[in-house]
Amino acid sequence: GSLERRRCLYLRTGRACCQMVEVLFAALILVCSSVSCGSAGGYTGLPALGGIYYYQYGGAYSGFSGADGEQAQQLDQRFYLLKLPIARAAMVVGGCLLVFPCVLILVGVLQVPWHFPAWLLIECTLYIVIAVGTVPALYYFLHSLLNVYNSSVCKEREQLYQSKGYQGFWCSLHGAEIAAGLLGCMAAMAYLLSAGLAVRDYRTVHEQKQKPLQL
């Protein structure tokens, strides 16, 4: 009835639209973090193929056999283990950022802010805290990745692949990691915008509560 229509109208408000954008940003951050994590990597010797080594995401690679193949596999695994904690932390943060706006959308649809206007001030505070906390989180993410890429394991791995003529194994941030950082910055701006919208909506609800007969 009319109650259901009023609930659906929330999804057309500016605050709800901003929250849906935050869901999109969080989902993209989660995807980019999982790409950064990658796989365990490593070369797997296949005797049936005459000692050719196959890379998990690169197809057939020739040029690695014997000691070189074992070294490549060990370096890949060590490099993966260095990046794993950072990628997992980023995925956890991305997952939390994905759940948070979804919960707020549900709260808005259920019209909790109308019945409990102070919730909007709580929401505003949470948004500001998350937006401010995003800055050191991004610094930690990028700084930790740069430390991994500057490690001796990455440098040795890069030199080994370059010695065989393979490209794409450079010790630098790749596209998904840079995208995760940019998405984090855009998400922080969206959180600040949502905080401002929450304050505006609090004033609107407060004014309407003072004029119940005009509703």
Instruction: Give 152-172 pLDDT, tens digit per residue.
Output: 999 998 888 888 777 778 888
21-54: pLDDT as tens digits: 999 999 999 999 888 776 444 444 333 333 333 4
Indicate the range of 51-65, 108-122, 131-145 predicted with least confidence: 51-65
Element (H, E) at 212: none
Torsion of the alpha carbons at 119, 17, 211 and 118, rounded to the nearest 10: 10
Q: How many CA atoms lie within 13 A of 46 on its CB side?
A: 13
Closest C-alpha among 67, 2, 29 to residue 178: 29
Instruction: Order the strands of the 53-55 sheet from edge to edge.
Output: 43-45, 53-55, 59-61
Q: Are 55 and 61 in contact (CB under 8 A)?
A: yes
CA 128 to chain centre: 19
Q: Are 39 and 9 in contact (CB under 8 A)?
A: no
> Over 70: is that where the pLDDT of 106 sits?
yes
> In the numeric block, which tokens belong to residue 46?
């296949």
- Start-to-end Cα distance in the chain: 18
| Predicted pLDDT of residue 35 | 83
Residue 33: is it exposed, middle or buried by C-beta count within 10 angstroms (0-12/13-18/19+)?
Answer: buried
- Tell me the sheet residues that pair with 60: 54
pTM for this prediction: 0.80
Considering only CA atoms, give the Rg of the chain.
Answer: 24
Per the prediction, the chain carries an average pLDDT of 81
Backbone angles phi, psi at 151, to 5 degrees: -75, 160
